[in-house]
Amino acid sequence: MDDAVSVRDLVVERGRRRVLQGISCAVPRGTVTGLLGPSGSGKTTLMRAIVGVQRVSAGTVTVLGRPAGAADLRRRVGYLTQAPSVYADLTVRENARYFAALHGRDHAHADQTVADVGLAGAAGQLVGNLSGGQRSRASLACALVGDPELVVLDEPTVGQDPVLRADLWARFHAMAAAGTTLLVSSHVMDEAGRCDRLLLIRDGRLVADDTPAAVRASTGVTDLEEAFLRLIKASEQEASS
């Protein structure tokens, strides 16, 4: 199958630490792929390498058939940073319209995207006055507004209530059904079950790259949280022996 992202032997050093230690993985087109792992395991770093803002020490990252960070990819890839990166001194609508303009989209499209993330009622509010969850949805709207072919979302559902989370996941699947590829990082294990594929990393190494069903089957437990704990424990034993 055709992959939207393929990563080979990727090594990244940040400061003096080797944060990614030779990761190889792929994200198939038109899927929602979950990126999971303990805090500090390198999820954000891997996503930064895929969108082309991370300096890498070795390995290759290919995105939509081009080397990551290539100029023409910038109109085809959308990136949601982990910390909301929107202008606090602009309204939600003004933020979305600005990012829409960068992608050549009009105001109506921007306003629609704001409504899609459930912020129609707060569109005229300054981002600085929003709640944490609203602010991260404003940031999400700005990542989606260019209709990118590949969407890289770093913890998009943090701080959202269960209803909104369900809405957002439904939207992600609708986008995937329409051909968009999504890579979504998360801490929440019940979200792992909603993904088509899972990438589990620990300490900068890939521990699992499979479908949720296969992860359950290989570990012999139905609860994904438990399955991940087992996989991580097994990888720790492997590392220490």
Partner 1 sequence: MNPRILAATTGRILRQLRHDRRTVALLIVVPTVLLALVYFMYVDQPTPRGQPTVFDRVALIMLGFFPFIIMFLVTSIAMLRERTTGTLERLLTTPLAKLDLLFGYGIAFGLAGVVQATVASAVAYWVFDLTTAGSIGLVIMIAAINAVLAVALGLFCSAFARTEFQAVQFMPVVVAPQLLLCGLFVPRGEMAGWLQAVSDVLPLSYAVEALQEVGAHADPTATMWRDVAIVAAAAVAALVLAAATLRRRSG
Q: Measure the CA–CA gap between 240 and 45, rounded to whole angstroms.
A: 24
Q: Measure the CA–CA gap between 169 and 156, rounded to whole angstroms.
A: 10
Q: Could you say whether residue 55 binds ligand ATP (CB under 6 A)?
A: no
- Closer CB to partner 1, residue 86 or residue 227? 86
Q: Measure the CA–CA gap between 146 and 94, rounded to whole angstroms.
A: 15
Residue 234 binding partner per list Mg ion, partner 1, ligand ATP, none, with a CB distance cut-off of 5 to 8 Å that depends on partner kind: none
**Residue corresponding to tokens 């030779």:** 22
Q: Could you say whether residue 134 binds Mg ion (CB under 5 A)?
A: no
Q: Measure the CA–CA gap between 72 and 7, rounded to whole angstroms.
A: 19
Q: Measure the CA–CA gap between 93 and 70, rounded to whole angstroms.
A: 29
Residue 45 binding partner per list ligand ATP, partner 1, Mg ion, none, with a CB distance cut-off of 5 to 8 Å that depends on partner kind: ligand ATP
Backbone φ and ψ for 28, nearest 5 degrees, come out as: -70, 150
Residue 121: count other Cβ atoms within 10 Å of its Cβ.
11
Stretch that binds ligand ATP, among 13-21, 51-59, 103-111, 208-216 (CB under 6 A): 13-21
Least distance to Mg ion, CB of residue 42, Å = 8
Interface residue with Mg ion among 6, 21, 62, 82 (CB under 5 A) is 82
Kindly list the residues in this chain that would bind partner 1 in the complex (CB under 8 A).
13-15, 51-55, 69, 74-75, 77, 79, 81, 83-90, 94, 98-99, 101-104, 126, 142, 146
Q: Measure the CA–CA gap between 43 and 164, rounded to whole angstroms.
A: 23
Residue of closest CB approach to ligand ATP? 44
Q: How many residues bind ligand ATP (CB under 6 A)?
A: 13
Stretch that binds Mg ion, among 16-24, 37-45, 118-126, 213-221 (CB under 5 A): 37-45
- The tokens describing 12, both together, are 């990244």
Stretch that binds Mg ion, among 41-49, 92-100, 163-171, 193-201 (CB under 5 A): 41-49
Among 207, 206, 203, CA closest to 218 = 207
Least distance to ligand ATP, CB of residue 150, Å = 19
Q: Could you say whether residue 44 binds Mg ion (CB under 5 A)?
A: yes
- Closer CB to ligand ATP, residue 39 or residue 240? 39
**Residue corresponding to tokens 């303009």:** 101
Report helix angle 162-177 to 132-144, nearest 10: 10
Among 241, 210, 94, CA closest to 228 = 210
Query: What residues line the site for ligand ATP (CB under 6 A)?
Result: 14-15, 17, 19, 37, 39-45, 82
